[in-house]
Amino acid sequence: MKKIYLELTDRCNLNCTICYRRNWKDGFSDMSKDTFNKFLKDIKDINGLEEIVLGGIGEPTIYEEILEVLTRLKEYNLNITTNGTLLTNSLVEKIVDTVKKVTISVDGVGKQFEDIRGTNLRIILEGIKRIQELKNRRGSSYPNIQLQFVSSSENVSNIFKVMDLAKEIGCFNIIVSHLLPQTEENKDTILYTIDRNDKLKNLWNKIRNYSFRKGIKIYLPNVELKTERNCDFIRDVTTYITAKGEVVPCYRFSHDSKEYVFGREKNVKKHSFGNIMDKSILDIWNSKEYREFRYYVYTNQFPSCPDCDLVEGCEYQKDTLEDCYGLSPSCGDCMWARRFVKCP
């Protein structure tokens, strides 16, 4: 195991229009101290652990013990994903002391950003400025700050202004991900297609050329469905631990939710391979069920639902419990594997 996503909380201080949490029916929770202490104990036995990402679906900086968490994990390569609204002086100082990479969501500027995130971009920029100034005072190159932009037909034209902003504030990496619709209202705002997509290819080329001129390294997702499937969670030897201590394979299977795949409604079911309060992380990771799941996904032994001729009349495609190959949970409709949705 090389990488762990640690979800300290699945709560958030924002209610973004594009968020996975908008269709959750269950309540929200924070990781207990006992669960976090068990996590600390377990990772000492994991050889070759390269990175811990403090993130998930919730906002890690609202976790009550975030400063203590950063202190106790400072010996590891830490990456924190955040909406950037709570970067207080004390948190900024701790982040500069302990974190190697900070990923901050910026999906536009001005009113475009406010419409999506429900807050003012100025707050985020002030936090970034505090990090950069403290780094400069200390002569430190860490943490690296990168921006993440979730693109849809509603905001994609704003990406050029976001690149201008990134250059201005000293953020030289931008991850662009497509929107994975979670509500009826945004299911038709996706940019990617099943068939040929020359229009988006041309736009991606313009964005890429603009990034070159700005000195920005930009990571762009696929624009159309391709035969090749590649799961970053499997390829990067990664697991995900929820706020309740459940060991799940990825973001998608961390909570019950609803998504729209090329307009089709799909019920996503949480899939846990075990809880760290019952077994060690390594024991769960090496369990027969989890090993077989990783093997089937790595070798692409699961169906391709979006371009299947039978998809409209198929019962399997309605949820992720099982697919027509017998794999459970089902990855047949996964937009991450298709390189449409990208994670830091």
Predicted confidence at residue 267, as pLDDT, reads: 96
Q: Of 137, 158, 139, which Cα lies nearest the Cα of 147?
A: 158
Residue ranges making up the domain that contains 295: 3-317
Identify whether 37 is part of a domain. Answer: yes
Predicted confidence at residue 17, as pLDDT, reads: 87
Tokens read off for 95:
């982040």
Report mean pLDDT in 10-residue bins for the chain, 344 residues: 97 87 80 98 96 93 97 97 96 97 96 92 96 95 96 96 96 96 92 97 98 96 94 96 97 93 96 98 98 96 96 96 95 96 87
C-alpha to C-alpha distance for 204 and 223, rounded to whole angstroms: 9
Identify whether 247 is part of a domain. Answer: yes
Predicted confidence at residue 84, as pLDDT, reads: 96
Predicted confidence at residue 24, as pLDDT, reads: 75
Q: Of 331, 322, 270, which Cα lies nearest the Cα of 301?
A: 331
- Say which CATH number the domain at 229 has: 3.20.20.70
Tokens read off for 6:
């640690």
Side chain identity, residue 51: E
Identify whether 24 is part of a domain. Answer: yes
User: Total domain count for the chain?
Assistant: 1
Q: Of 43, 41, 44, 35, which Cα lies nearest the Cα of 8?
A: 35
> Which residues, 6 or more positions from 235, have their beta carbon under 8 angstroms from its beta carbon?
298
Predicted confidence at residue 155, as pLDDT, reads: 96
Identify whether 337 is part of a domain. Answer: no
Predicted confidence at residue 343, as pLDDT, reads: 82
Predicted confidence at residue 28, as pLDDT, reads: 86
| Maximum Cα–Cα distance across the chain | 62
Identify whether 126 is part of a domain. Answer: yes
What pTM did the predictor assign?
A: 0.95
Identify whether 283 is part of a domain. Answer: yes
Identify whether 329 is part of a domain. Answer: no
Identify whether 332 is part of a domain. Answer: no
